[in-house]
Amino acid sequence: MRPARQPYSMSAPLVGERWLHVQGLGSLACLLALAVLAGGCAARPTDTRGGPAAAPAARPPGVLDVRRAFYAALREGGYAAMTNLLAKGADPKDDYHGTTPLYIVAEAGHWRLLAPLVRAGATLDDDDSIASPLAIAAFLSNLECVKELLRLGADVNYRFGQGETALLWAADAPRGPRGSIHSPLKLTKPTKPDPRLVQRNLEIVRLLIRHGADVNVVSDDGDTALGYARCYNKVKIAQLLVRAGATNASLSWLRGSQQKNAGPPSDASK
């Protein structure tokens, strides 16, 4: 016959025989519960007057906290948050794994944040970036960012990486989900181009040429704007480049008869 369970008493110890009789707890659960109780029974720290210790003071935001909040504001397009963090010491020239504040803003399309960053000291053409802010804006067809960067004085022929320029990236810009150099329309299953991207892409190339972009620039890999335009069947852009004086249609990975037969596209509208 199971012995009757003894009643609990406020004077009874928190650990010991009475606790081990709690119904339904296994040995492991008992050990865990004992550890929790033992921790709870530990003496609380006290101050010099014998009372409970005061809660630690809130830690002021450090450099890392400001940096994280700054980059979050850049990606979200938060103008007020960005200017507030700049006042707290955020670096407008910061380099985070090859991306600068201007690069992130141009990539996200938040053109209204570009001028405040430049006024705060951000560099329009930065050797530390993966690409220039103008190039990433052109590649992603962020037309308003391209306009603003050109207005602020970005170098339209600034070379970065493998000798690339904003015009090369604009000519290589995707027209839809599979339109980049890594997945060219000519070599994969074609997808219908997004007409909005096509029009913005054309306007960006026109803007870059108007601001003095070198239409015959060749990257270190041997790529040209006209070569990209022909490869992706960007007829209007190719015609625009030819009218601006482009004659070189080379492309580093395009070989054989396609390269040999590369010629200026017809001037017929499409």
Residue 185's domain is classified under what CATH number?
1.25.40
Last residue of a domain, one of 90, 121, 155: 155
Domain hosting residue 113, numbered range: 62-155
Dist. CA 82–CA 122, nearest whole Å:
13
Closest alpha carbon to 67 in 46, 53, 82: 82
- Tell me: do 151 and 190 sit in the same domain: no
Residue 12 lies in a domain: no
- Tell me: do 141 and 188 sit in the same domain: no
Last residue of a domain, one of 138, 155, 172: 155
pLDDT of residue 97: 78
User: Does the pLDDT at position 127 exceed 90?
Assistant: no
Overall pTM > 0.75: no
pLDDT of residue 173: 87
pLDDT digits (tens, 9 = 90+) for 116-126: 999 999 999 87
- Tell me: do 146 and 206 sit in the same domain: no
Averaged pLDDT for residues 153-167 = 95
237: Cβ–Cβ under 8 A, 6 or more apart, which residues?
A: 171, 201, 202, 205, 229
How many H-runs (helices) and E-runs (strands) does the chain carry? Answer: 13, 0
List phi, psi (to 5°) of 160. -140, 170
Residue 80 lies in a domain: yes
Residue 234 lies in a domain: yes
Q: By the 8 A CB rule, do 90 and 104 touch?
A: no
DSSP state letters, 131-188:
S-HHHHHHHTT-HHHHHHHHHHT--TT--BTTTB-HHHHHHT--SSTT-STTS-TTTS
More confident residue, 104 or 270: 104
Q: How many domains does the chain have?
A: 2
Q: By the 8 A CB rule, do 203 and 197 touch?
A: no
What is residue 193's DSSP assignment? P
pLDDT digits (tens, 9 = 90+) for 63-104: 567 888 998 999 999 899 999 999 988 999 888 777 899 999
Residue 41 lies in a domain: no
Residue 164's pLDDT band, with cuts at 50, 70 and 90, is very high
